[in-house]
């Protein structure tokens, strides 16, 4: 079906088995010494085994003094690292996949704490945090060129197939390209040719040292999308940059855009960004050069990748986070099994986990970040033993599919007529959230393949389950909404966010939403989108609205409501529901306030359903409770991972 996707491609003298490039993404899996760990090697090996044509690794730092972007960042200029890098390349090569190293310097985007307080850039222009970097001297530029070239030589010695120079996203080389950040008056500033000079000299240097047949790709921002700096890179300049890179000897252009000043998450592409949105820019670059062009464009599905290739937008498709979500993306596409792909849903949990715990995990792929630990296949020891799974949400479906694969006789009970649980609610908040619903389709396909018996429209009870005589019950029936015991909470104009999202309850007029997490804010967005409310006020006890949300997701959802009659009030505790609205406590000022409202929507989260858990534990010897006992009940990432690990490790004999 995907003819163009699986055609051979060429980058210089290098032949790729298909047109899919796994683009560079920082994982945090490398060692503190810059060498690949077993976890990182297994991560790349799994994607190679999954069929991708080319892997561009995460960033290699080229400078230890002022070029450190992350603590666990690849580094090739230590001779001790060449052998482990060679072993990593061999593990990728065994599947016919090629591997490039992306070479990088963060410039003023680096953290001062990791670089001895020493941030460098082309010129003294404040970074996104307001920190002023030190302009590089000519001597330092010469040293950096040698380090970029030396890194390329080191990875070539380790058996890598090529390198990609990172000149995008506001990092050092992008800063040289951008007149907004490059105010130099020497040979590296001013004209387009001068601003490109550092990259073109690195290309030429790599070719001189590594040979003409060693491919060099350049990734750059063809448009910075930066409204705060009038002199930032425009597409017209990006076209000229690409021509100069080709003339210098580059073998491929990898087109991206944006920098750290982008206001709406252009670099991270949260939920609302459509697949293929960058295509016009990529096409403009392709039309300007004769060398191959790779394009990233928030590609999540094989159909969009195929379309971009068929329309001549690019020669190779950059498929990044989709490969975190499913290492077998290519293989499943080749089998024409789109329904079995764990699609990236744009939730940015990969970014969030990288920032919070230092390494990447994924909402829809519980093995991401655990590839080494979970490499061995689980025991196929089910032997037809009966297992009951209660609940057809994400945790129940994941557990049922994994238990079925292990050979258990699994029956899943779901009280609703359709599967999905809270996934259906998340998908219903906005048209672009339909991506969340993809996971329901995938888990249904996996359960079907695993032979799970699914009974929808069936409200499970301990008595009903007892008729099955299961050896264990996996209880994934979900938690209970938090409804505080406050005066007036039982008024008819008090409704739950889930009921509003699912269109079971309607509201109008002036609406107050209690709870400013993702559910509360997305409920507000839906009210404005459907015209159900004249005005919306969202309150939260925490001192900051969206305090527990990843910043780009918070920006994305609130951006959808710009210009709407929306009021966000942090540090407010609900005290009472009255006939005119609600009384809240201003926590900082310790005084009560009255908020007028026609309807009050509760979006305060969920808690464990202890009564249901207790009833099942009394009735059955083995009950495994999923999705509501951890600190993030109802969250896709934690529920899916908990279910996968519990089902994978379940021992029927103990």
Task: For residue 544, give both structure tokens.
Answer: 């900051």
At residue 613, the 3 state secondary structure works out as helix
The count of other CB atoms within 10 Å of the CB of residue 211 is 10
33 in Cβ contact with 68 (< 8 Å): no
Residue identified by tokens 């001068």 is 194
| Closest to 364 measured CA to CA, from 473, 475, 438 | 438
Task: For residue 589, give both structure tokens.
Answer: 């000022």
Distance of alpha carbon 595 from alpha carbon 347, whole angstroms: 32
**Residue 441: strand pairing partners:** none
User: Looking at 29, 44, 171, 359, which residue is catalytic?
Assistant: 171
At residue 55, the 3 state secondary structure works out as strand
Task: For residue 438, give both structure tokens.
Answer: 């993809």
171 catalytic? Reply is yes
**Residue 494: strand pairing partners:** 600
At residue 308, the 3 state secondary structure works out as helix
Q: What is the Cα Rg of the chain in Å?
A: 27
HSE-CB at 554 with a 13 A cutoff on CA atoms is 12
256 in Cβ contact with 213 (< 8 Å): no
Task: For residue 512, give both structure tokens.
Answer: 């107050």
Q: Assign residue 420 a region (left: φ > 0; alpha: ψ between -120 and 50; beta: otherwise).
A: left
Would you call 27 exposed, middle or buried from its count of C-beta atoms within 10 A (0-12, 13-18, 19+)?
buried
97 in Cβ contact with 17 (< 8 Å): yes
The residues that are catalytic are 171
């Amino acid at each position: 079906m995907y003819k163009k996707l699986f055609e051979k491609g060429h980058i210089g003298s290098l032949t790729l088995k298909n047109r899919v490039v796994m683009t560079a993404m920082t994982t945090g899996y490398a060692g503190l010494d810059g060498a690949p760990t077993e976890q990182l090697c297994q991560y790349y090996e799994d994607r190679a085994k999954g069929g991708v044509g080319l892997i561009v690794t995460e960033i290699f730092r080229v400078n230890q003094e002022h070029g450190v972007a992350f603590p666990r960042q690849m580094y090739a200029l230590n001779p001790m690292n060449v052998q482990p890098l060679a072993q990593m390349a061999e593990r990728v090569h065994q599947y016919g996949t090629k591997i490039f190293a992306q070479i990088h310097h963060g410039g003023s985007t680096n953290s001062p704490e990791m670089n001895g307080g020493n941030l460098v850039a082309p010129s003294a222009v404040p970074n996104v945090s307001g920190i002023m970097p030190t302009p590089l001297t000519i001597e330092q530029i010469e040293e950096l060129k040698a380090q970029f070239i030396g890194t390329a030589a080191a990875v070539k010695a380790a058996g890598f197939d090529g390198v990609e120079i990172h000149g995008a996203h506001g990092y050092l080389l992008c800063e040289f390209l951008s007149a907004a950040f490059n105010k130099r008056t020497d040979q590296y500033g001013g004209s387009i040719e001068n601003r490109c000079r550092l990259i073109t000299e690195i290309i030429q240097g790599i070719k001189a040292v590594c040979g003409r047949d060693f491919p060099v790709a350049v990734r750059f921002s063809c448009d910075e999308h930066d409204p705060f700096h009038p002199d930032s890179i425009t597409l017209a300049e990006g076209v000229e940059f690409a021509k100069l890179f080709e003339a210098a000897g580059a073998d491929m252009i990898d087109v991206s855009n944006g920098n750290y000043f982008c206001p709406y998450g252009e670099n991270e592409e949260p939920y609302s960004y459509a697949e293929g949105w960058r295509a016009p820019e990529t096409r403009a670059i392709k039309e300007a050069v004769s060398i191959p062009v790779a394009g990233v464009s928030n590609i999540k599905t094989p159909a969009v990748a195929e379309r971009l290739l068929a329309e001549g937008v690019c020669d190779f498709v950059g498929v990044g986070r989709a490969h975190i979500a499913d290492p077998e993306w290519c293989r499943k596409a080749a089998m024409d099994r789109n329904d079995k792909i764990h699609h990236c849903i744009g939730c940015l949990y990969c970014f969030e986990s990288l920032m919070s715990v230092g390494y990447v995990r994924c909402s829809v792929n519980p093995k991401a970040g655990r590839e080494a630990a979970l490499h061995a296949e689980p025991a196929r020891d089910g032997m037809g033993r009966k297992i009951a799974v209660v609940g057809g949400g994400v945790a129940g479906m994941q557990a049922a599919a994994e238990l079925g694969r292990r050979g258990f006789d699994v029956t899943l009970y779901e009280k609703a007529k359709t599967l999905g649980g809270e996934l259906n609610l998340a998908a219903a908040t906005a048209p672009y959230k339909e991506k969340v619903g993809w996971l329901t389709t995938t888990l249904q396909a996996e359960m079907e393949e695993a032979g799970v018996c699914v009974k929808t429209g069936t409200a499970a009870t301990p008595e009903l389950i007892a008729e099955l005589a299961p050896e264990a019950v996996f209880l994934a029936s979900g938690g209970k909404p938090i409804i505080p015991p406050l005066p007036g909470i039982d008024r008819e104009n008090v409704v739950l966010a889930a009921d509003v999202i699912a269109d079971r309850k309607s509201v109008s007029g002036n609406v107050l939403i209690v709870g400013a997490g993702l559910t509360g804010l997305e409920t507000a967005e839906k009210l404005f989108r459907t015209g159900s409310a004249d005005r919306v006020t969202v309150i939260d006890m925490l001192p900051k609205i969206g305090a527990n949300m990843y910043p780009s997701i918070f920006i994305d959802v609130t951006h959808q409501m710009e210009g709407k009659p929306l009021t966000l009030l942090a540090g407010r505790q609900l005290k009472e529901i009255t006939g005119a609205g609600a009384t809240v406590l201003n926590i900082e000022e310790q005084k009560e306030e009255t908020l007028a409202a026609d309807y009050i929507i509760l979006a305060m989260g969920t808690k464990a359903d202890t009564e249901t858990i207790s009833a099942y534990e009394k009735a059955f010897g083995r009950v495994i409770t999923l999705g509501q006992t951890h600190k993030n009940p109802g969250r896709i990432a934690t529920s899916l991972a908990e279910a996968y690990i519990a089902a994978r490790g379940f021992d029927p004999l103990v």
